[in-house]
Structure 1
Amino acid sequence: MGSVRTQPGSVRPGGRTARVRAAVLRAAGDALVENGVHGLDLADVAFRAGVGKTTVYRRWSSVPGLVADLLDDMAEQSLPRSDTGSLLGDLTANARLVRTTLADPRQGVLFKAVIAAATCDARTAEALNRFYTTRVNEWAPCVEAAARRGEVPPDTDPHEVIRAVSAPLYYRLLASGDPLDEAAADRAAAAAAIAAREGAYARTER
């Protein structure tokens, strides 16, 4: 096999390098919350993190590279899925976790900034896609387990069910402005569970 070329910021370091990465990503998140992607500056991030500018420029090289690594780190740090023993219980746990994240004063603003950036930057869009793919894949097994228990049809697409849970919550965050409360999370989970039981998310032939 040939060597694998990595993008700046994609190597998972240890020791002091790991501490530098953590400090820089924390600073980048702070700057994103305060100023948005368009106000993100590598020199400012370096200052906030207390590291040299050359370190940041050498490792991440660009704002999109830094945002991409921030998203990768967020995916790594996300909580694992729950296993309540029922589809509704698992989907409710997922919905409440998404809701807690999006309703958080820092995390909600951070996601808005990154999603906005992804609409016009391919690398950020790719990183955002990786983030959501990681999270959907993390929770999909709860739908597979429900299929084994007979709660949903065996041909249910688990990824579509998980996407259906979070979609109404992201709509509230980005479009409607309706409250992101626990009741909204519970309704999203219940709706997805009912639809899944009725076969709405059956895999289709392509």
Structure 2
Amino acid sequence: MELETRLNESRPASPGTLRPGGRTAKVRRAVLDATLDALAKSGFHALNMDRIAASAGVGKTTVYRRWTSPTGLVGDLLHDMAEQSLPAADTGTLAGDLRANAELVRATLTDPRMGAVFRAVIAAAACDEECARALAGFYRTRLAEWTPAVAKGAARGEVPAGTDPVELLRAVSAPLYYRFAVTHEELTADVAERAATAALAAARDGVFVRE
């Protein structure tokens, strides 16, 4: 672990992705909070580095040096959001864990502030490769956080051995994101419940077993 840490520290970091302490940490927090507010209010294409610096109370030179571009800001924000998100549930059953996962996704997307942020980032990812990579990284981190729940469920015999946890978890959230980003339909608790129930039923039938 120490070797891995030293290797990671020796590699060039992506814009804004250092894990600083002290004043530098406060600067990063202020800039990321300002970025989130700006995305929620105006979307990605209105993201302006000078205005972010002013809103955060940080010098423009610092913002340009550390994040280099609006996509650098978005990438670091997504990295931070992934790390700060709630941990995976452990209800004692896979059904309960999947329902908790679906409800967490639903609650996030229906939150007025966070829903606007995700809508902005998803739109940006559709036309900007760097944003797309950052968003994919966010979801990789969140899926990895929840994969042990599927492994525990398989160990309890709730789904077949060899069930791919990532594919199962994607099947839970995909219907919610479809309604959110494509059809703009209401995301109710019933919708989240059905998504979790349908994904679990498919998993029990072996749909997600790795070949």
Normalized against structure 2, the TM-score is what?
0.94
Unaligned 5+ runs, structure 1: none
Match runs of 1:116-131 below 5 Å? 116-131=123-138
Tell me the distance in 2 between the aligned counterparts of 1:157 and 1:7: 30
For residues 41-72 of structure 1, the C-alpha deviation after alignment (integer angstroms, 9 at most, x for no partner) is 00000111111111111111111111100100
The equivalent residue for 2:102 is: 95
Query: In the alignment, which of 38, 49, 52 is matched to residue 42 of structure 1?
Result: 49
CA distance in structure 2 between the partners assigned to 1:6 and 1:81 by the alignment: 28
**How far has the Cα of 1:107 moved from its partner?**
0.6
Once the 2 structures are TM-superposed, how far is the Cα of residue 33 of structure 1 from its aligned partner?
1.4
* 1:33 lines up with 2:21 in the alignment: no
Distance 1:58 1:159 in 2: 36
1:166 aligns with 2:173: yes
Q: Which moved more, 1:1-10 or 1:129-138?
A: 1-10
Tell me the C-alpha RMSD between the 2 structures: 1.2
Quote the sequence identity (%): 59
How many angstroms apart in 1 are the aligned matches of 2:179 and 2:90?
A: 27
Distance in 1 of aligned mates of 2:159 and 2:16? 41
Amino acid at match of 2:184: G
User: Within the alignment, does 1:178 sit opposite 2:163 as a pair?
Assistant: no
Partner of 1:86: 93
Q: Which moved more, 1:94-103 or 1:2-11?
A: 2-11
Measured against aligned partners, the alpha-carbon deviations of 1:62-102 in whole angstroms (never above 9, x if no partner) come to 11111100100110110000111111100000000010000
3-state SS of paired residue (1:12): coil
AA of the residue aligned to 2:17: S
- 2:119 maps to which residue? 112
